[in-house]
């Protein structure tokens, strides 16, 4: 839920220029199917189509979304379904064959996050693959 929390923090800051951008890793931008089994506020927020997720998306401008990069795996069975990593208007670095927990240490995922951070910092990495 870290990527969702980062998106929400930008909105709470009330300043689109509060940071250069956001890189999310394995974030369920459209909700996680497994969240329906969880209790508590976080699980309710992460349910597919939840009012919280809809409000979060509705409050983001195209300018803000353009400064977000989503690194995700098509084989992430925790944050899934797989399409939940895609965030309209954001940059994307889709990976394959890497599970949710492995995204933290897998060399390809680490490289993707570093490339995305470089892009946001103006380094011109090729993240739009």
pLDDT tens for 84-112 read 999 999 999 999 999 999 999 999 999 99
Domain of 22?
A: 2-120
Assign 129 a pLDDT band (cuts: 50, 70, 90). very low
pLDDT for the residue numbered 127: 43
The packing angle between helices 51-59 and 2-13, to 10°, is 50
Output the CA torsion sign for 115, 121, 126, 127: positive
Q: Is the pLDDT of residue 43 over 70?
A: yes
- Spatial distance between the Cα atoms of 8 and 31, rounded to a whole number of angstroms: 14
Summary mean pLDDT of the chain: 89
In a domain, 128, yes or no: no
Q: What CATH number does the domain containing 109 carry?
A: 3.40.50.1820
- Higher-pLDDT residue of 13, 32: 32
pLDDT for the residue numbered 80: 84
Domain total in the chain: 1
Assign 128 a pLDDT band (cuts: 50, 70, 90). very low
In a domain, 127, yes or no: no
Q: Is the pLDDT of residue 16 over 80?
A: no
């Amino acid at each position: 839920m870290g990527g969702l929390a980062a998106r929400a923090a930008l909105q709470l800051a009330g300043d689109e220029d509060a940071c250069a951008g956001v890189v999310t890793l394995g974030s369920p931008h459209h909700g996680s199917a497994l969240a329906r089994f969880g209790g508590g506020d976080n699980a309710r927020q992460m349910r597919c189509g939840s009012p919280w997720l809809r409000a979060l998306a509705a409050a983001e401008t195209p300018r803000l979304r353009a400064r977000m990069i989503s690194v995700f795996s098509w084989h992430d069975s925790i944050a899934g379904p797989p399409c939940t990593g895609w965030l309209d208007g954001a940059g994307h670095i889709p990976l394959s064959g890497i599970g949710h927990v492995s995204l933290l240490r897998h060399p390809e995922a680490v490289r993707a996050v570093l490339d995305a951070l470089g892009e946001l910092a103006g380094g011109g990495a090729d993240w739009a693959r």
